[in-house]
Amino acid sequence: MIKKIQALLAIALVFTLIACEKDFEELNKNPFKPTQVEIGPLFNSVIQSLTLGWNEQLYLNNETIYKLTQQAALSATTFQNVSIGTEEVWSRYYAALSDIRDIESRMDNFEDDQEATNNVRAMLKVVLAYKTFRLSDLFGGMPFFDAGKGFENLELVRPKFDTQEAIYKALLDDLKWVNDNANINPAPTTAAGEAYISFNGFDQLFNEDMAMWVKFANSLRLRHAIRMVEKEPTLANEIIKEILENDLPLIEAGEEVAMWPSKLAWRNEGMFWSFREHKKMRMGTTMWNQLSDSDATDGSGIFDKRVHIFFEPNNENEWVAFPQNPTAATEPSGGSPYQQLRDDNHSFKGVSNIYSPFNYFLIRDEDYVPELLQTAAEVHFLKAEAYLRGLGVALDEDKAKQEYKAGVTTSIVFWHNIAGSTPIWTVNTPVLEGQEQFVIYNHPSINFTGGTDKLELIYKQRWIDAFRQPWEAYALGRRTKETPIEGQRIEHNRFSYPPSEIENNPENWSTHVAEMGADDELTKVWWME
């Protein structure tokens, strides 16, 4: 009897396996079958992963990178648990990478016209490039080509590290593919008559506007080609030349790439939390000196009104910057400029708040202030640098000046629009009057004329525009060594790999570290000279 039951179970198992295999064959024909999670929701989770993590904002940006870039001042020693931030940014990247690899696999198994997957592939390649460039610029080499594929092959659960050089070149190739293959025309079908596959409303970044995806792809190519131009000049110049001489579409004013909370039905609670958690971020003297002619506490020396968007006066309504390099005699900073009680009593920042804090509304708004990925102003500054240095194109100071001016004025307008569109910003809302952005541009410390170091001006204004992208200012400072600085520039070239990677992938980590020299902040990433 037992043998009969075993035989019947064996037969049932065979039929079950055949049925399962048949189901998988059907799934391979169409990656959108409802028998598994559809790729639309998967892509939505990837887009959501573009937001900054709470610990990333606190421990990496606020406690570490702002101090390195001197875009702001850390007025007191705080938690300094950098590894909490690196753990979060690392783990969030690889969780998203797993979803990306899953979608890639489904598209690879699509048995109909592969051209029909071009737009979906293009969007995925751009997001992957943005996320990977950002992580690699923080750490250097990293597991990439085999990473995120553990669901396909258990041997890839602990993937090897790849060099940053190899990663950069592959991503730049991918972004070129996007420009060359994305369908931005209204034609709904491929040449073979196949309908283009879409994410069916789950693209919350550009709503499947392929023209915008191509612009973002080309803008990222320009950013990272210039970033590696000292290390890989031939390839970098070829990319810059292709983009600028062919006038390939780039991000323009009003098209800033950002994560808008209200658009994504998401509340950016992590931003406010990261400031109120330790209360120590203040306007530093380095940024203050780029925006004001004097230290007059009444603000009479201010010539660049972006200062009113980035910061605010202290509890006595005075503009006072915290020394970027404090001494033992520097008075301590205190007060409660980032506590929620200011919702009801905005003027009270705590009697000991003697230095200018970040503008409360800029970091308090959870619905309308965006997290920035790339601004139109940055694109102008990239083009200005290319023309001024003759990178990929003929040196043309007039074009450099034109792009620089567009960058400055675009940045000023953009930041004022942010302040003006935030409903909770009800006190001292900065307003541009008429053509005031051009008046600001003509200030001697901004204007692109005379005997000024024009390249230094470009870097300074890009540094200012990246005020809420300190990781970009960090990369710019490492590459150029010409961003505004007081005192000696801290030699900090990368972050150490998070402890979890060392613990969970020790052999591959140790192999990579042996090749790179040391896993510390003094080791340079690939594109640094």
pLDDT in tens, 67-110: 999 999 999 877 789 999 999 999 999 999 999 999 999 999 88
| pTM recorded for the entire structure | 0.92
Question: Which token pair is 169?
Answer: 């070149």
Other beta carbons less than 10 A from residue 398's beta carbon: 8
Cα–Cα distance for residue pair 227/223, rounded to 1 Å: 6
**Mean pLDDT lowest among 115-119, 254-258, 479-483, 511-515:** 115-119
Instruction: Please give the pLDDT value at position 287.
Output: 98
Instruction: Please give the pLDDT value at position 321.
Output: 98
**pLDDT higher at 79 or 402:** 402
Instruction: Please give the pLDDT value at position 31.
Output: 46
CB within 8 A of 373, min separation 6: which ones? 50, 130, 216, 257, 258, 259
Please give the C-alpha separations between residue 337 and each of 369, 370, 467, in angstroms, as whole numbers.
Answer: 18, 21, 19
Which of 308, 273, 283, 168 lies closest to 231 in space, CA to CA? Answer: 168
Instruction: Please give the pLDDT value at position 481.
Output: 97
Q: Beta partners for 358?
A: 311
pLDDT digits over 300-332, tens only?
999 999 999 999 999 999 999 999 999 999 999
- In this predicted structure, the answer to whether residue 491 has a pLDDT above a threshold of 80 is yes
Q: With beta carbons less than 8 A apart as the criterion, state whether 482 and 455 touch.
A: yes
Instruction: Count the alpha carbons within 13 Å of 374 in the hemisphere toward its beta carbon.
Output: 28
Q: In one letter, which amino acid is 291?
A: L
Q: What is the DSSP letter of 155?
A: G
pLDDT digits over 403-412, tens only?
999 999 999 9
**pLDDT higher at 458 or 76:** 458
Other beta carbons less than 10 A from residue 515's beta carbon: 10
**DSSP annotation string for 119-130:** HHHHHHHHHHHH
CB within 8 A of 205, min separation 6: which ones? 47, 50, 127, 257, 259
Which of 121, 232, 95 lies closest to 175 in space, CA to CA? Answer: 121
pLDDT digits over 186-231, tens only?
777 888 888 888 898 899 999 999 999 999 999 999 999 999 999 9
Which of 162, 186, 229, 177 lies closest to 393 in space, CA to CA? Answer: 229
